[in-house]
Amino acid sequence: MRVFVTGAGGHIGSAVVTELLQAGHEVVGLARSESSAAAVKALGAEVRLGDLADTDGLRKAAADADAVVHLAFDNAAALAGDWSAAAAADLAAARAFGEALAGTGKALVGIGMPRVADEILAANPRLATGRLIAGLAGQGVRAVLVAVPQVVHSTRDRSGFVPTLIRFARASGVSCYLGDGANRWPAVHTLDLARLYRLAVEQAPAGAQLIAAAEEGVRVRDIAGAIGRRLGVPVRSIPAGQAAGRFGPFAPLMSIDNPLSSLDTRRLLGWEPVHPTLMADLEEGHYFAG
């Protein structure tokens, strides 16, 4: 299959591109910069320069492909505080893909869930894109959603939840969690996630909601404890009222309790995670090098 992958040079995207290529697929990766293009080309994929604002280009790339994996998001705009612009570009890109793929039966694999129980996660404006993609299943598109856990971990992870907590612990000299720290974050190794995306492209039926959790939920206090041990700093609980001062914009995410079960996904696609668990990955030490 010829697969068009957005976000091909990113943490998850680069692993998905490699997985698809190793399975014998032809991959075209969207890259927004020359450096990203060089990285995608080094993986062995064809490069298409552009970004999510180029909806005409996205439509053409999707029409020329047998499947689309949409991973890109304007994180720069989101980190700068303009979540609405980033979410609008994401939604416009998904709409362009839907227009190109309607009635073809081709696959469009995106990130998300139409409904999320946790109030903080439910406020994410990117959920609108998930709902749009899910609705394309009724328009002749093999639309598939992958619920990606908060924690996607591996040596490729440079800016996710774990590196963020490590930076806070290093800066303050304390590894903290909120309250009793019993809230749970689902987790998956990057390479196990990449394999699930490949299976989604190859096998998942239209309308499928896949859950990419290798671990249903790891308690945040256990993550903080592992970080504290590796850094040699104290591990402490802090009250919710101190979260903003300790974690800044990341504070709301510290209270998320969002366990996810992948049992149905494993049964549907035969997906079985084989790479290290989150705690094993933390103990390997690569997160603390340098």
CATH fold, domain 152-187+216-259+276-288, is UDP-galactose 4-epimerase; domain 1 (3.90.25)
Q: For residues 184 and 252, give the distance between their C-alpha atoms in angstroms, rounded to a whole number.
A: 14
Helices assigned H by DSSP within the chain: 11-22, 34-43, 55-63, 75-79, 83-101, 119-122, 127-135, 161-172, 190-203, 220-231, 243-247, 263-269, 278-284
83 exposure class (CB count in 10 Å sphere: 0-12, 13-18, 19+): middle
Q: Which residue has tokens 């103990």?
A: 283
pLDDT (tens digit, 9 = 90+) per residue, 126-172?
A: 788 999 999 999 999 999 999 999 999 999 999 899 999 999 999 99
Which pLDDT score is estimated for 261? 96
Average pLDDT in the chain: 94
pLDDT (tens digit, 9 = 90+) per residue, 44-70?
A: 999 999 999 999 999 999 999 999 999
Which pLDDT score is estimated for 127? 84
Q: Which residue has tokens 């749009």?
A: 132
The crossing angle, in degrees rounded to 10, of helices 190-203 and 11-22 is 50
Res. 212 pLDDT band, cuts 50 70 90: very high
What φ, ψ does residue 102 adopt, rounded to 5°? -55, 130
Using the predicted structure, report yes or no on whether residue 109 has a pLDDT greater than 90. yes
Q: Helix (H, G, I), strand (E, B), or coil: what is residue 181?
A: coil
Give residues with Cβ within 8 angstroms of 107, minimum separation 6: 66, 67, 68, 141, 142, 143, 144, 200, 201, 204
Which pLDDT score is estimated for 218? 98
Using the predicted structure, report yes or no on whether residue 123 has a pLDDT greater than 70. no
pLDDT (tens digit, 9 = 90+) per residue, 82-91?
A: 678 888 999 9
Res. 120 pLDDT band, cuts 50 70 90: low
Using the predicted structure, report yes or no on whether residue 80 has a pLDDT greater than 90. no
Domain 2-147: assigned CATH number: 3.40.50.720
Q: For residues 80 and 78, give the distance between their C-alpha atoms in angstroms, rounded to a whole number.
A: 5
Using the predicted structure, report yes or no on whether residue 77 has a pLDDT greater than 70. no
Which pLDDT score is estimated for 73? 86
Q: Give the pTM.
A: 0.95
Percentage of residues in the chain with pLDDT exceeding 70?
Answer: 93
Q: For residues 170 and 103, give the distance between their C-alpha atoms in angstroms, rounded to a whole number.
A: 52
Task: Answer with the residue of higher pLDDT: 90 or 124.
Answer: 90
Sign (positive or negative) of CA dihedral 40, 44, 50, 56: negative
- Segments making up each domain of the chain, as ranges: 2-147, 152-187+216-259+276-288
Which pLDDT score is estimated for 228? 98
